[in-house]
Amino acid sequence: MLVMVLKRLGGVILTVWMVATLSFFLIRLAPGNPFANELHSLSPEEDAARRREYHLDESYSVQYGYWLWDLCRGDLGDSMKYRGKTVNALIAQTFPTSLALGSMAMLMALVVGMTTGVLAALRQNSPTDYALMAVAVFGISLPSFVFAMLGIVLFVFGARLFPLAGWESYRHVILPAMALSLPFAAKISRLTRVGMLEVLGEDFIRTAYAKGLAERHVVIKHALRGAMLPVISYLGPAFALILTGSLVIEKIFFLPGLGTIFVQAATNRDYNVVLGTVVVFSTLLCFFNFLVDLSYSLLDPRVKGSTGE
Amino acid sequence: MIPKAMYRNLYILIAGGASLLAIFLLFFNGSARGRADFAWVNGTEPETLDPCYMTGQPEGDIATNIFEGLTTYHPETLEPTPGVASSWTQEGLIYTFQLRPDAWWVKGGQILTVDGKPRHVNAHDFVYAWMRQCVPESGSQYSFLLDYIVGVEEFKNETKANWNELIARRKSQNKTPPAKLADLDSDERKEVEAFRDRLWKEKVGVRPKGDLVLEVELRSFVPYFLQVTNFYPLFPVPREAVEAHDKEWILPRNIVTNGPYTLKDWRFNAYIRLQKNAHYWETEKHVAARLQDLAHKTDLPRRLALEKDLLTRLGSFEKHGLATLDALAIESDDTALNLYINGDVDRIRRIPPQVAGELLRAHREKPIPHIHAATSPSIYFYDVNLELPIFKDKVAGRQLRQALALAIDRPRLIREVSRAEQTPAYAMVPPSMRGYHAEPRFGTGTLKGDLQKANDLIQAFQSAGNAKPQLRILYNTLEAHKAIAAFIQDQWKTNIGIDAKLENQEWQVYLDSRRTGKFDLARAGWIPDYSDPNTYLELYTSDDLTSDKDPSRLSKPIVFNQQNHSHYNNTHYNRLVIEYAARVLDYLSDMNKRDAMLQDISSWPDFKEAIADRVRTNQKTSWNELHEAIPLYDQASGTEAKLEAAQRIRLFLLEIAEQMLMWDLPVIPIYHYTTSEVWPPELDGIGLNEREMHPAKFLRWKEGRRPAGTRYDAFPRFHSQTIDKP
């Protein structure tokens, strides 16, 4: 078990390093630079001084050396667009917002998705099932900003339940988290239903019913586990997706999250910020997948066996 | 009994949910700062608050409130009003500013003390700030504004040479080249600083006379100089803070400011909270004294009359100024408008394009008191690449460009595509410049009137043996630019049979293509830095001032204005803008120079057709009006009257330059933007102005406080059928 954990962790680090290295060179190969300005430009001497400030006058390999050395010390460098701000400070200010929003959205998605999924599976081919799955198809195919707009019209301008935008109190979180969670809730709902149905058709369930166990017991003890496995394997990528894909929601609801920075930085060619966010996001993605693998091995005996335990 | 293992699945689920909830509670970082007295949507996140490094409106709007220049400006008319300078005088090209002794530097809400003494803003702070703009290691994109001052250009060139020498020397010693002064050894550093101080004292016309008097000598006649002194690049900066904290001096914990507001809190991509500066000089006492002072004077000049009216209307900042301000970093125009309607913000910069057309039309029919709309000084245009063989040809190239410019139905483009009540542009200078005669400079102003001429030009172009070209229109990837380009593509195809391809590029790639001349026609825009035709006409100049007949001409490469991506090079035009208009006093006072100037203008090959014969809507030609204005200058007596007459002549010279430009058309104007700002009618001390920045020190709520509630009913509602489809 320990060997597996270490191996996986090593894999995480290796993947993050490779992604960051690739991004390092790609962003520098893209045309443009962080000091470009549409209306006025700098004289050659001024431009050179600014480049020197960020080591941009060195060769790529030297720049890469500087950057990697700083990274190992936990320093992601200075923003080149936002003068006087370090990438660490930017991430420290914005990442908690994304994390809080993401975890709330994930929680909502899990509660709504699993409840409806289980219900639909138990009432397979009933009107309840059809209605729930129709809603889920909508949820998956409609982009989240449509829900966001709809939510604003209904709950802000209509029912006056929530504030319109901003990141101040808990009440500010609900609407954006809801909008962000819906596509994920829909997906989870479908996964749960399919997983459940598969298990419900198995022999051991029939045996359980035959033994005279109540439906409640059968569902909680046996069927739910079957439903949970596909959901859990989806959770890793889903959480990473929720965190990175919150850009539109952040914009609509005016939330100071990391998603906006991620996109802005690429447009600005703010090299250090691009790489900083890439490192954070890729670490997250890999780490969640690692967690999923880990929990898989705890839940599913077949996986446990394969790791040699 | 149920076996325990049964619940294991449930436990796992609950544990998962609980840990998500825990993550949420642990990381939630809402600001809970409460509503400020005035909140505005400030657009994108400010890049910096250092006046030396800023270039955009979001930065400028904050800087204007936390710093203060020599002058500030009247919120509605942009007339200069006192800032750090309590008064000023002008003698010819020399301005003398009298600084006030109670303009304090403030840190963390307290007056900054240096060696135990409170520190006021002094003349040396301006020298420090302006010099900082002109040296290579901190040079600013806006330092060209200082070039109007005697000696600044020489100073820049010599410091650059000195800097390059230093780099070369360090390289030869195998030391790393410096990025800033702090990278140097202390001896080297002292040497550089001493060199610069000496050079500045010797050459530059910015001279402190003691702590509280600053003398500024201009190189040429710049009627808008007092508009420049209230512009953020010329704000003073506190040397102590900059040197102590380097780049980080602008963070809330380090910053030292001198404006009516202080920087309280700055959260990235969210908001900047500003707080009233309790030590600001505009106290109740000050205003009473000033009003008394002005009351005794009769026949006040316009500027002072405006100041008096403003002070009477608004009262002192100390007593009536708003206590807290929030500048929100919101990029989405839709969110901005929603927040405004919901009563969460009090000013938005522009109405979202999707509803602008409908709202502005409704506003024109029945004014909506929240909307403030006017023709903006900004312009949307296409640059034409004159390095392309097809456009380079003197005659055929111009025929083609003229045909392209004439064959666009601009009113229809605005009605059906851009749809925000813009003004069709048939010139570069917008209609709003005071004293400048603005009118269509090519064509008649309607496609109907111009279509025949466009086709004649194409025919002439073809009969000279040129094949119709296949052109490319370059724009940065954005739906709005694409729609406009597609419309123009269609217009050229149907009206004059010219094919054009659309080519979109990501922002930075597009900037690069424009800079390096990799385009046929490129979408562009210009936001003026000050209110004068010069800011538009300067764009298409180059440093080539020699006569066409001069054999030494073109012996060195031409340096184009940074924005002259078209590479337009007309020596007559260059001389008109850079020489004659800018140094109009020299040329008027010397008879020989004056005659040579007029002779030179009329020797431009297309002079007759483009200038002498071009009768304007007032039935006169600009050439005649120029000739009528010159004797008035000779007759004028007194400095004021002379300067005024010279300014009239200067504007006629610029007008003639614009006619040259619009004859050669290295640029195809499309439309003048519309300003559509939104703020509530309950707000006082704010007005539409061309800078589109509103100093908050003048803001007052008419009732004494911000009206509560939403503004939902103030806006008309649109139903899908009222929105006309293009």
Please give the residue that has the higher pLDDT: either B725 or B463: B463
Alpha carbon B64 to its chain centroid, in Å, reads 13
Contact predicate B52/B125, CB 8 Å: no
Coil, helix or strand for B610?
Answer: helix
Q: What is the mean pLDDT of chain A?
A: 87
Q: Which two tokens stand for residue B233?
A: 């690049």
User: B480 and B622: one domain?
Assistant: no
Chain B hits for A267, CB-CB cut-off 8 Å, are 506-508
pLDDT digits (tens, 9 = 90+) for B31-50: 888 899 999 999 989 999 99
The CATH class that applies to domain A97-267 reads: mainly alpha
Is B672 a domain residue?
A: yes
Count the Cβ atoms, other than its own, within 10 Å of residue B192. Answer: 19
Distance (Å, whole) CA B11 – CA B317: 62
Contact predicate B527/B690, CB 8 Å: no
**The pLDDT of residue B5:** 53
pTM: 0.89
Residue of A nearest to B52 (CA): A83
Least confident of A24-38, B102-116, B566-580: A24-38
Q: Crossing angle for the helix pair A2-29 and A271-299, nearest 10 degrees?
A: 160
Secondary structure of chain A: what % helix, strand, coil (to 5)?
75, 0, 20
Is B481 a domain residue?
A: yes
Is B392 a domain residue?
A: yes
Contact A52 B179 (CB under 8 A): yes
Tell me, yes or no, if B57 comes closer than 8 A to chain A by beta carbon: no
DSSP for B685-720, written as a single string: S----TT----GGG-EETTSSPPPS--GGGS----G
- In the numeric block, the tokens 């049979």 are attached to B497
Least confident of B58-62, B183-187, B408-412: B183-187
Tell me, yes or no, if A175 comes closer than 8 A to chain B by beta carbon: no
Tell me, yes or no, if A46 comes closer than 8 A to chain B by beta carbon: yes
Distances (CA, A) of B574 to B100, B221, B559: 41, 17, 12
Q: Which two tokens stand for residue B65?
A: 């409130």
| Domain layout of chain A by residue ranges | 97-267
**The pLDDT of residue A284:** 86
**The pLDDT of residue B357:** 86
φ/ψ of B118, rounded to 5, equals -65, 145
User: B412 and B504: one domain?
Assistant: yes
Residue at B519: amino acid letter: F
Q: What are the beta bridge partners of residue B474? A: B503, B522
Closest CA to B137 of B159, B153, B154, B157: B159
pLDDT digits (tens, 9 = 90+) for B620-657: 999 999 999 999 999 998 888 888 899 999 999 999 99
Tell me, yes or no, if A36 comes closer than 8 A to chain B by beta carbon: yes
Distances (CA, A) of B638 to B235, B633, B643, B644, B649: 32, 11, 9, 10, 17
Q: Give the contacts of B682 (CB within 8 A, at least 6 positions apart).
A: B701, B702, B703, B706, B707
Distance (Å, whole) CA B236 – CA A27: 37
**The pLDDT of residue B531:** 85
H-state helical runs in B315-393? 317-320, 333-341, 353-365, 389-392
The DSSP H or E segment spanning B672 is: strand B667-678
User: B412 and B506: one domain?
Assistant: yes
Distance (Å, whole) CA B715 – CA B348: 14
Contact predicate B545/B578, CB 8 Å: yes
Percentage of chain A lying above the pLDDT 90 cut: 41
Tell me, what DSSP letter sits at residue A158? I
Q: Which of residues 137-166 of B touch A (CB under 8 A)?
A: 137-142, 144, 156, 160, 163-164
Tell me, yes or no, if B10 comes closer than 8 A to chain A by beta carbon: yes
Distance (Å, whole) CA A240 – CA A244: 6
Q: Which of residues 5-24 of A touch B (CB under 8 A)?
A: none
Closest CA to B65 of B253, B256, B259: B259
Burial label, A302 (beta-carbon count in 10 A; 0-12, 13-18, 19+): exposed
Please give the residue that has the higher pLDDT: either B605 or A124: B605
pLDDT at residue B201 tops 80: yes
Tell me, yes or no, if B178 comes closer than 8 A to chain A by beta carbon: yes
Q: What is the mean pLDDT of chain B?
A: 91
Contact A228 B268 (CB under 8 A): no
Residue at B555: amino acid letter: S
Chain B hits for A97, CB-CB cut-off 8 Å, are 27, 29
Chain A hits for B338, CB-CB cut-off 8 Å, are 152, 164-165
Distance (Å, whole) CA A38 – CA B512: 10
pLDDT digits (tens, 9 = 90+) for A189-210: 999 998 888 888 888 888 888 8
pLDDT digits (tens, 9 = 90+) for B653-698: 999 999 999 999 999 999 999 999 999 999 999 999 888 889 999 9
Number of domains in chain B: 2
Tell me, yes or no, if B20 comes closer than 8 A to chain A by beta carbon: yes
Distances (CA, A) of B472 to A245, B465, B521, B669: 35, 22, 6, 17
pLDDT at residue B98 tops 60: yes
Residue at B616: amino acid letter: R
ipTM over 0.95: no
CA–CA min distance B469, chain A (Å): 28
Q: Which two tokens stand for residue A63?
A: 């720049």
Burial label, B466 (beta-carbon count in 10 A; 0-12, 13-18, 19+): middle
For the segment B255-259, the average pLDDT, to the nearest whole number, is 96
The DSSP H or E segment spanning B166 is: helix B152-172
Is B145 a domain residue?
A: no
User: B501 and B387: one domain?
Assistant: yes
- In the numeric block, the tokens 């006492």 are attached to B285
- Maximum mean pLDDT: which of A290-304, B292-306, B490-504: B490-504
User: B380 and B447: one domain?
Assistant: yes
The DSSP H or E segment spanning B118 is: strand B117-118
- In the numeric block, the tokens 């910096």 are attached to B48
pLDDT at residue B103 tops 90: yes
CA–CA min distance B374, chain A (Å): 23
Contact predicate A141/A161, CB 8 Å: no
Q: What is the CATH number of the domain that holds B426?
A: 3.10.105.10
**The pLDDT of residue A300:** 64
pLDDT digits (tens, 9 = 90+) for A266-286: 888 999 999 999 999 899 888
φ/ψ of B273, rounded to 5, equals -100, 125
Distance (Å, whole) CA B20 – CA A107: 6
User: B436 and B467: one domain?
Assistant: yes
**The pLDDT of residue A217:** 78
Is B473 a domain residue?
A: yes
Distances (CA, A) of B683 to A276, B30, B686, B691: 43, 29, 7, 19
User: B400 and B478: one domain?
Assistant: yes
For the segment B95-105, the average pLDDT, to the nearest whole number, is 96
Q: Which domain holds residue B652?
A: 569-665
Tell me, what DSSP letter sits at residue B424? E
Q: Give the contacts of B467 (CB within 8 A, at least 6 positions apart).
A: none
**The pLDDT of residue B78:** 86
User: B485 and B604: one domain?
Assistant: no
Is B79 a domain residue?
A: no
Q: Which two tokens stand for residue B645?
A: 């007459």
Coil, helix or strand for A143?
Answer: coil
Closest CA to A57 of B179, B185, B512: B179
The DSSP H or E segment spanning B521 is: strand B521-526
Do the bridges between strand B113-114 and strand B110-111 make them parallel or antiparallel, or are there none, so unpaired?
unpaired
User: B510 and B417: one domain?
Assistant: yes
**First CA to last CA distance, chain A:** 7
User: B426 and B503: one domain?
Assistant: yes
Contact predicate A299/A232, CB 8 Å: yes
**The pLDDT of residue A210:** 85
Distances (CA, A) of B21 to A111, A285, B15, B687: 12, 20, 10, 48
Distance (Å, whole) CA A183 – CA A60: 41
Contact A168 B506 (CB under 8 A): no
**The pLDDT of residue B1:** 40
Q: Which two tokens stand for residue A51?
A: 């480049």
Contact B136 A49 (CB under 8 A): yes
Is B149 a domain residue?
A: no
Confidence of residue B725 (pLDDT cuts 50, 70, 90): very low
Least confident of B112-121, B298-307, B542-551, B692-701: B542-551
Closest CA to B624 of B437, B469, B451: B437
User: B451 and B502: one domain?
Assistant: yes
Closest CA to B236 of B219, B213, B259: B259
**The pLDDT of residue B626:** 94
Closest CA to B265 of B537, B66, B535: B66
pLDDT digits (tens, 9 = 90+) for B153-182: 999 999 999 999 999 998 899 888 888 888
CA–CA min distance A114, chain B (Å): 10
Confidence of residue B72 (pLDDT cuts 50, 70, 90): very high
Distance (Å, whole) CA A239 – CA B550: 71
Is B159 a domain residue?
A: no
User: B416 and B510: one domain?
Assistant: yes
Closest CA to B428 of B541, B535, B560: B535
DSSP for A41-73, written as a single string: ---HHHHHHHHHHTTTTS-HHHHHHHHHHHHHT
Closest CA to A55 of A272, A226, A255, A245: A272
Distance (Å, whole) CA B255 – CA B270: 19
**The pLDDT of residue A303:** 56
